[in-house]
């Protein structure tokens, strides 16, 4: 065994671990990075990157078959499913060097391609090395949760970790789980020529505002995707090509392939956390507001910490650790300014409180402002008029924004900036947006907040009347 000492040990080379290691080493810290699987973690290899690449393939196919509205003849797309997967692999390959071992070693990080296992509160074993670090950060991420449904262990199934290696196009894809992963992959596969059934035990897109989710669900049904809600899987049976799912209420769904997309579980099994005095919860590693675990030397960030499971959250957490562990400055985790998006078509995006949450928290002080895509000229020109924005406002300050529609994931950025910095509706109203853009939707939402105050106010009308009478 070789003993190593370092300022910072990062366990896991996903988005959070890589951001932390790169920032720390460039600021002068001695850094060791452990990764027992793939550099780049879930996001690069099995999640954000490949899923968005496959969604792009689906959009291209859909555009060919829906071009007549633009004066171009519809064409039935000739989908090469294996070639679409080649496209996915090519996109991963283009991004891979940024997350590679070679790049990080070039920055000065010592990269060990082994899993980390705690031997004590201060020591971690990785292969033939025992590492002692002043600070340790666990950034091991999450992996697909596969529930113990009777029969599931006897049939072939995909998760997001295997789906992108599938080369044969499914005739009929059964998707168990109506969350973001399940819904994104359901639509992508439908547009690539598969029959698709989404089977959800509760409500699809259940974490989103129901009014917003309905915009997406209507489009899914229009595209021929079968959505079955309240269908809790009780038994799965069959074999490759002929799979059946029986719900607890007796409904039976048949398909050729099965995708399990019911959630995520934190990757803690290999860590031997008990040896380090690190407590866990049902969701992941227990952390305080500064992302510190019950072992004061050890932090946990990203999915493994059991909070919001998004790549950008892991990157945000990395910044909190740099502030504390490297600069000795206080830093507290907050979530009220964290946006997220689901990249269906139309897209869904959210930051801050939903309408229901805002009503519960703020009661009669809440104002809800709506503006529909159908009143935006660019949306009309692009024939993307399905959708709306809702802004939850308390005393002139937004506390939450929900968007359903084209480019919702881009539009939410402005509101993330507003909430992060405590800005008010007047600051958005003061912005000048180029015409014609989707971005005008944000400004028009702010205008919708002020319009009643300006146009329906007797006081304003009296002032204008006075000025008009006496102004030279």
Q: pLDDT digit string (tens) for 443-456?
A: 999 999 998 776 66
Is residue 468 scored above 80 in pLDDT? no
- The reply, when asked if residue 328 is annotated as ligand binding, is no
- The reply, when asked if residue 303 is annotated as ligand binding, is yes
Class of domain 152-263: alpha beta
**Tokens of residue 293, six digits:** 């675990």
Give the sign of the dihedral formed by CA 45, CA 85, CA 404, CA 70: positive
Pick the CATH number of 339-455 from 2.40.37.10, 3.40.50.300, 3.50.50.60, 3.30.390.30: 3.30.390.30
- The reply, when asked if residue 180 is annotated as ligand binding, is yes
- The reply, when asked if residue 244 is annotated as ligand binding, is no
All residues at 6 or more sequence positions from 456 whose CB lies less than 8 Å from its CB, including other chains: none
- The reply, when asked if residue 179 is annotated as ligand binding, is yes
Q: In which residue are the tokens 């969350």 written?
A: 179
Q: Are strands 129-138 and 142-144 parallel, antiparallel or unpaired?
A: unpaired
- The reply, when asked if residue 92 is annotated as ligand binding, is no
Q: What per-residue confidence (pLDDT) applies to 410? A: 98
Fold classification of 2-39+100-144+265-326 (topology level): FAD/NAD(P)-binding domain (3.50.50)
DSSP character at residue 446: H
Q: pLDDT digit string (tens) for 201-223?
A: 999 999 999 999 999 999 999 99
- The reply, when asked if residue 200 is annotated as ligand binding, is yes
What are the boundaries of each domain within the chain? 2-39+100-144+265-326, 152-263, 339-455
- The reply, when asked if residue 183 is annotated as ligand binding, is yes
Asked if the domains 2-39+100-144+265-326 and 152-263 are classified in one and the same CATH topology, the answer is yes
- The reply, when asked if residue 256 is annotated as ligand binding, is no
**Tokens of residue 13, six digits:** 């080379």
Three-state secondary structure readout of 232-281? CEEEEEEECCEEEEEECCCCEEEECEEEECCCEEECCCCCCHHHHCCCEC
Q: In which residue are the tokens 């789980």 written?
A: 177
All residues at 6 or more sequence positions from 371 whose CB lies less than 8 Å from its CB, including other chains: 388, 389, 441, 444, 445, 448
- The reply, when asked if residue 141 is annotated as ligand binding, is yes
Q: pLDDT digit string (tens) for 363-392?
A: 999 999 999 999 999 999 999 999 999 999
179-183, 268-272, 387-391, 466-470: segment of lowest average pLDDT: 466-470
- The reply, when asked if residue 223 is annotated as ligand binding, is no
- The reply, when asked if residue 307 is annotated as ligand binding, is no
Q: pLDDT digit string (tens) for 12-59?
A: 999 999 999 999 999 999 999 999 999 999 999 999 999 999 999 999
- The reply, when asked if residue 398 is annotated as ligand binding, is no
Cα 233-234-240 angle, rounded to 5 deg: 70
Give 440's strand partners. Answer: none
Q: What per-residue confidence (pLDDT) applies to 11? A: 98
Is residue 408 scored above 80 in pLDDT? yes
- The reply, when asked if residue 361 is annotated as ligand binding, is no
- The reply, when asked if residue 263 is annotated as ligand binding, is yes
Q: pLDDT digit string (tens) for 114-134?
A: 999 999 999 999 999 999 999
- The reply, when asked if residue 347 is annotated as ligand binding, is no
Q: What per-residue confidence (pLDDT) applies to 471? A: 75
């Amino acid at each position: 065994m070789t003993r190593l000492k370092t300022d910072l040990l990062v366990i896991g080379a996903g988005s959070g671990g890589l951001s932390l290691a790169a920032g720390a080493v460039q600021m002068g810290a001695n850094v060791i990075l452990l990764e027992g699987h793939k550099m780049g973690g879930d996001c690069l290899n099995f999640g954000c990157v490949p899923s968005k690449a496959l969604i792009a393939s689906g959009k291209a196919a859909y555009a060919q078959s829906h071009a007549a509205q633009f004066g171009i003849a519809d064409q039935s797309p000739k989908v090469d499913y294996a070639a679409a997967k080649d496209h996915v692999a090519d996109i991963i390959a283009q991004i891979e060097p940024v997350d590679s071992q070679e790049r990080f070693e070039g920055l000065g990080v010592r990269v060990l391609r082994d899993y980390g296992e705690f031997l004590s509160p201060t020591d971690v074993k990785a292969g033939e090395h025992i590492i002692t670090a002043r600070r340790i950060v666990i950034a091991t991420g999450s992996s697909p949760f596969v529930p113990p449904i009777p029969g599931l262990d006897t049939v072939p199934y995909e998760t997001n970790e295997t789906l992108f290696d599938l080369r044969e196009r499914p005739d009929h894809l059964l998707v168990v789980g109506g969350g973001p992963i399940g819904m994104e992959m359901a639509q992508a596969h439908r547009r690539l020529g598969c029959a698709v059934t989404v089977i959800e035990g509760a409500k699809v897109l259940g974490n989103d505002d129901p009014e917003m989710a309905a915009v997406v669900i209507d489009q899914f049904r229009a595209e021929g995707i079968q959505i079955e809600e309240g269908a809790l899987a009780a038994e799965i049976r069959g074999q490759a090509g002929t799979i059946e799912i029986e719900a607890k209420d007796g409904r039976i769904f048949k398909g050729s392939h099965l995708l399990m997309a019911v959630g995520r579980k934190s990757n803690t099994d290999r860590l031997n956390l008990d040896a380090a005095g690190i407590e866990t919860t049902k969701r992941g590693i227990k952390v305080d507001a500064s992302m510190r675990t019950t072992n004061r030397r050890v932090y946990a960030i990203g999915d493994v910490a059991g909070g919001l499971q998004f790549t950008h959250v892991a990157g945000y957490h990395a910044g909190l650790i740099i502030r504390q562990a490297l600069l000795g400055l206080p830093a507290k985790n907050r979530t009220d300014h964290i946006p997220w998006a689901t990249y269906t078509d139309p897209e869904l995006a959210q930051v801050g409180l939903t309408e229901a949450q805002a009503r519960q928290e703020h009661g009669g002080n809440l104002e809800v402002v709506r503006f529909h895509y159908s009143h935006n000229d660019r949306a009309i020109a692009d024939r993307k008029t399905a959708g709306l924005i809702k802004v939850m406002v308390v005393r002139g300050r937004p506390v939450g924004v929900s968007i359903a529609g084209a480019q919702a994931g881009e539009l939410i950025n402005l509101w993330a900036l507003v909430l992060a910095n405590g800005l008010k509706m007047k600051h958005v109203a003061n912005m000048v947006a180029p015409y014609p853009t989707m971005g005008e939707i944000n400004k028009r939402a702010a205008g919708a907040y002020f319009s009643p105050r300006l146009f329906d106010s007797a006081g304003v009308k009296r002032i204008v009347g006075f000025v008009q009478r006496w102004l030279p």
